Structure 1
Amino acid sequence: MPFALFLLGVAVFAQGTSEFMLSGLVPDIARDLGVSVPSAGALTSAFALGMVAGAPLMAGLARRWSRRGALLGFLAVFLAVHVVGAVTDCFTVLVATRVVGALANAGFLAVALVTAVGMVGPEAGGRATSTLLGGVTLACVVGVPAGALLGQLWGWRAAFWAVALLSLPAVVAVARSVPAGAADSGRPSLRAELRSLRNPRLRVALLLGALVNAATFCTFTYLAPLVTQVTGLGSGWVPVVLALFGAGSFLGVAVGGRLADRRPGAVLTGGGGALCLGWAAFALAAGTPAVALGLVLVQGALSFGVGSTLISQALRTASDAPTLSGGFATAAFNVGAALGPWLGGTAIGAGLGYRSPVWVSAALVAVALLTAGLAARRNRRAPGCRTRASWPA
C-alpha cells in the first residue's frame, strides 16, 4: 500500500475520533447542558445526518477542485467547528457544529475513498478501503477511549479541543502526501454518475451497508450507560469497553480487507449471520461482565469486517461513478449511523431499558440478511442474469 494512503488514514483517525467519541461523553453532555440522555445521543444522529446530506453534495462540489485542495478545505472547516463546539454553552449551537463538521467530514471521506482506490487500482480496492478505514478503527481503539478519559478528567469539552489539535497534523500530512493533481474535468458528467444509482446491485449494497451500520451505532452510542447500568461496571470501565470494541473493529477491518477482494460473499454471509447471533447473545448476556466484555470485542470485529467489505463492494459496483461512488457509500453508511442511535434512543425512551438497543441491533442485521437473501434469489431467477461471485448470496 502507498505510504500516502496511510497518511490519509491520519486525517480519518481525527475525524473518526470526533464521530465516535460521543458514545463515552453522552451522560456528561446531557448533565452539563441540561438535556436528556437520548437527546444528547441525538448528537450522533445529527453528525450522521450531516454525513448523509454532505457526502454526495460535497463530492459533487469537489469535482471543481483538485483532490488535495478539496481534502485540505474540508479539513480546515472540520477543525474550526470543533473549536466552536468546545466553547459553546448552547445545545443548539453544539448540534449545529456537529452537522457542519459532518458535512466537512463527509466531503473529505468521499474524496479520500476515491483517492485511495485510485492509488492502487480496483483489484486491490478492498485492501485500500480497509487501510483507509483503519483510521476509523484506530479512533475506536485509541481516540474514543482517550476522549472518554479526557471527559472524565477535564470534562467533555476537552475531547473537542483534542480533536481540533489532532486535525492540525492531519492537515500537514495531506498537504505533503497527496499530489496536487487537477480538478476532475475529464470525469463523466454529474448527471451520468447519478444515473449509476439505477443499478439494482448498487442500491441493495448501499441498503445493506445502511442496515449493518445502523446496528453498529444503535448499540455503540449507548455502550456507556449499558456498561454502567446493566453490566454493573463502574464508570472507569467505560474507556476500557470502548477500547475493546475498537480493538475488535481494527481486527475486523484488517481481516475483512484481505478477504474482501477474494471472497466477499463468504465475509458477508458468514460474518453477517455471526453478527446477528452475536447481538442477540450480547443482549442476553449483558448482565454478565466477563461475557459482555468478550462480546464487545467480537461484535466490534464482525461489525467493521462486514461493514468495510460492503463499502468496497459498493465502490466496485459504482465503478461508472468515479467521483460520486465514495459519496454514495459514505451517505449510505451514515444513514445507518443516523438511524441506529435514533432507534436505540426511542427504545430507551419507551422504557425498554438499556438492553433494548442491542436487541434492535440484532433485528437490523436480521433484516439485512433477509434483504440480501431476497435480492440474491431474485437475481438467480432473472432471465439471462448470473449472480456474480462477489454478491452476498
Structure 2
Amino acid sequence: MPLPLYLLALAVFAMGTSEFMLAGLLPDIASDLDVPVGTAGTLTSAFAIGMVVGAPLMAGLARTWPGRSSLFGFVLVFSAAHAVGAATTSFPILLATRVVAALANAGFLAVALTTATTLVPPGRKGRALAVLLSGTTVATIAGVPGGSVLGTLLGWRATFWAVTALCLPAAIGILAGIPARRARNGTAGGPALRAELARLKSPRLLRAMLLGALVNAATFASFTFLAPVVTGTAGLGELWISVALVLFGAGSLAGVTAAGRLSDQRPGLVIAAGGPLLLIGWPATAVLAGEPAALLALVFLQGALSFAVGSTLITRVLYAAAGAPTMAGSYATAALNVGATAGPLIAAATLGTAAGDLGPLWASGLLVAGALLVAFPLRTVIAGRSGEALR
C-alpha cells in the first residue's frame, strides 16, 4: 500500500480519538463548565449529527477543489476547532466547536475515502479502505485510553490540546505525500454533481448503504454501553473498562486488516462466514457477560467480526457508487455515521427494559439479524468480485 494512505490513516487516528474520547471526559467537562452531565452529553450528539449531515454537504462543497487542498483544509479546521474548544470557558462555544469539528471530520473522511481509491489499482479498494479505517481502530486501542489517562492526570483541556497537536504532523504529511491533482469536478471530465447525486436512486447503492448502516449500528450500540456490562454484570473494577475497550479495538484492527485482503475479491466469503458468527456473538456475549473471561474474549471476537463485516459492506458502497467519483466517499461516510448515531439511540431505549445493562447486546443481535435478512436475497450479488456491485 502506498505511503499516502498511511498519512491519511494518521489523520483518521486523530479524528477517531476525538470522536470517542468524550465518553470518559464528560463528568470533568460538566464540572469545569458548570453544566449538568446530561447537558455535557449533548457534545456527543452534536458531533454525531454533524458527521451525518457533514459527509454529503462537505463533499459537495469540496468537489471543485483539488483533493490535497481539501484534505489539508479539513485537517486544519479540525485542529483549530479543538484549540478553541480547549481554550474556551463557555459551554455553547465548546458545543459549537464540536459541530465544526464534526463537519471537518465528515468532509475529510468523505474526501479521503474517494482519494484512497485513486491511490490503488481499481480492484484494491477494500485494501485501501482497511488501511484508512485502521486509523479508527488504533484510536480505540491507543488514542482513547491515552486520552482518558491524560484527561485524568491533566484535565480534559489537555486531551483537546493533544488532538490539536496530533493533527499537525498529519497535515504536513498530507501536503508532502498526497499527489497534487486538478479540481475534481465535472468540468475536468467527470460527471456533474446532479448526475452523482442521481446515483442515490440506485437500489444497489441504497441496499449497500443500508447494510453498512445496520452493521455499524449494531457495533456502536454495544460499544457505547460496554462499560456498565463490565462493571455491573461481570463485576469487574473500573480499570477493566479500559481493558475491554482496548480488546475491542484490537479485535477491530485484526478484523479490518483480515477483511481488507478479502473484501475486494471474496466479499461474499467475509459476509457469509462473518455475518452469522456476528449474529450469534452478540446474544452469546449477553448470556455469558457474567463470566469475565468469556466476556473479554467475546469483546475481542465481536470487535473483529464487526469491523470485518462492516468494512466489507462499506467497500461495496464504494463499488456501487463508482459512477459518483467525488461523492462516493460521502455516501460511505453517511452510511457509517447513520449507524453510529442510530445504534446508541436504539441501545439506550433498551436500558429501561427487563434486559437492563444487557439490552444493548440484544439490540445489536437484532440489528445484525435485520442486516442478514436484507442481505440474504442479495447473496449471489454480494459474492461478486471487485468489479461487481449490489444489484
Counterpart residue identity of residue 273, structure 1 = P
Cα offsets for 1:260-313 (capped at 9, x unmatched): 012101111221111121111111222221111111111111111111111111
CA shift, 1:2, in A, is 0.8
Q: 1:212 aligns with which of 211, 215, 229?
A: 215
Cα offsets for 1:102-140 (capped at 9, x unmatched): 110111111111111101122111101111111111111
Larger CA deviation: 263-272 vs 92-101? 92-101
CA distance change for structure 1 residues 148 and 354 in 2, over 3 Å: closer, same or farther?
Answer: farther
CA distance change for structure 1 residues 29 and 286 in 2, over 3 Å: closer, same or farther?
Answer: farther
Partner of 2:3: 3
CA distance change for structure 1 residues 272 and 44 in 2, over 3 Å: closer, same or farther?
Answer: farther
Q: Is the 8 A contact 1:266 1:392 kept in 2?
A: no
Partner Cα distance (1:26, 1:352) in 2:
26
Q: 2:384 aligns with which of 381, 389, 393?
A: 389
Partner Cα distance (1:308, 1:338) in 2:
17
Partner of 2:374: 371
Q: Is the 8 A contact 2:204 2:390 kept in 1?
A: no
Larger CA deviation: 260-269 vs 147-156? 147-156
Instruction: Give yes or no for the alignment of 1:260 onto 2:263.
Output: yes
Partner of 1:86: 86
Q: Is the 8 A contact 2:26 2:41 kept in 1?
A: yes
Q: What is the identity percentage for the equivalent residue pairs of Structure 1 and Structure 2?
A: 56
Partner of 2:52: 52
Partner Cα distance (1:92, 1:232) in 2:
37
CA shift, 1:360, in A, is 1.2
Q: Is the 8 A contact 2:82 2:101 kept in 1?
A: yes
Q: Is the 8 A contact 2:218 2:365 kept in 1?
A: yes
Instruction: Give yes or no for the alignment of 1:346 onto 2:341.
Output: no
With normalisation by structure 2, the TM-score equals 0.91
CA distance change for structure 1 residues 356 and 323 in 2, over 3 Å: closer, same or farther?
Answer: same
Partner Cα distance (1:219, 1:83) in 2:
31
Partner of 2:36: 35
Instruction: Give yes or no for the alignment of 1:324 onto 2:318.
Output: no
Counterpart residue identity of residue 332, structure 2 = A
Q: Is the 8 A contact 2:209 2:332 kept in 1?
A: yes
Partner of 2:278: 275
CA shift, 1:99, in A, is 2.0
Partner of 2:157: 157
Q: How does 1:237-316 map to 2 (within 5 A)?
A: 237-316=240-319
Q: Is the 8 A contact 2:353 2:359 kept in 1?
A: no
CA distance change for structure 1 residues 119 and 387 in 2, over 3 Å: closer, same or farther?
Answer: closer
Cα offsets for 1:159-180 (capped at 9, x unmatched): 2222111111111111111122
Q: Is the 8 A contact 1:209 1:332 kept in 2?
A: yes
Counterpart residue identity of residue 36, structure 2 = V
Cα offsets for 1:287-344 (capped at 9, x unmatched): 2211111111111111111111111111011100000000000011100111112222
CA distance change for structure 1 residues 172 and 50 in 2, over 3 Å: closer, same or farther?
Answer: same
* Stretches of structure 1 lacking an aligned partner (at least 5 in a row): 381-385
Q: Secondary structure at the match of 2:119?
A: helix
CA shift, 1:251, in A, is 0.2
Q: Is the 8 A contact 2:52 2:338 kept in 1?
A: yes
Q: Is the 8 A contact 1:202 1:317 kept in 2?
A: yes
Partner of 1:383: none
Q: Is the 8 A contact 1:268 1:392 kept in 2?
A: no
Partner Cα distance (1:297, 1:150) in 2:
25
Q: Secondary structure at the match of 1:179?
A: coil
Q: Secondary structure at the match of 1:49?
A: helix
Partner of 2:224: 221
Counterpart residue identity of residue 267, structure 1 = V
Q: Is the 8 A contact 1:372 1:392 kept in 2?
A: no
Partner Cα distance (1:27, 1:119) in 2:
42
Partner Cα distance (1:351, 1:26) in 2:
27
Partner Cα distance (1:303, 1:317) in 2:
21
Counterpart residue identity of residue 249, structure 1 = S
CA shift, 1:188, in A, is 0.6
Instruction: Give yes or no for the alignment of 1:70 onto 2:60.
Output: no
CA distance change for structure 1 residues 364 and 387 in 2, over 3 Å: closer, same or farther?
Answer: closer
Give the number of equivalent residue pairs. Answer: 384
* Stretches of structure 2 lacking an aligned partner (at least 5 in a row): none
CA distance change for structure 1 residues 89 and 193 in 2, over 3 Å: closer, same or farther?
Answer: same
Instruction: Give yes or no for the alignment of 1:184 onto 2:187.
Output: no
Q: Is the 8 A contact 2:66 2:184 kept in 1?
A: yes
Partner of 2:127: 127
Cα offsets for 1:77-123 (capped at 9, x unmatched): 11111123334455544433222211101111111111111011221
Partner Cα distance (1:53, 1:248) in 2:
29
Counterpart residue identity of residue 370, structure 1 = L
CA shift, 1:220, in A, is 1.2
With normalisation by structure 1, the TM-score equals 0.91
Partner Cα distance (1:268, 1:3) in 2:
29
Counterpart residue identity of residue 177, structure 2 = S
Counterpart residue identity of residue 121, structure 2 = G
Partner of 2:110: 110
CA distance change for structure 1 residues 67 and 254 in 2, over 3 Å: closer, same or farther?
Answer: same
CA distance change for structure 1 residues 255 and 361 in 2, over 3 Å: closer, same or farther?
Answer: same
Larger CA deviation: 280-289 vs 322-331? 280-289
Over aligned residues, Cα RMSD in angstroms?
2.2
CA distance change for structure 1 residues 31 and 366 in 2, over 3 Å: closer, same or farther?
Answer: farther
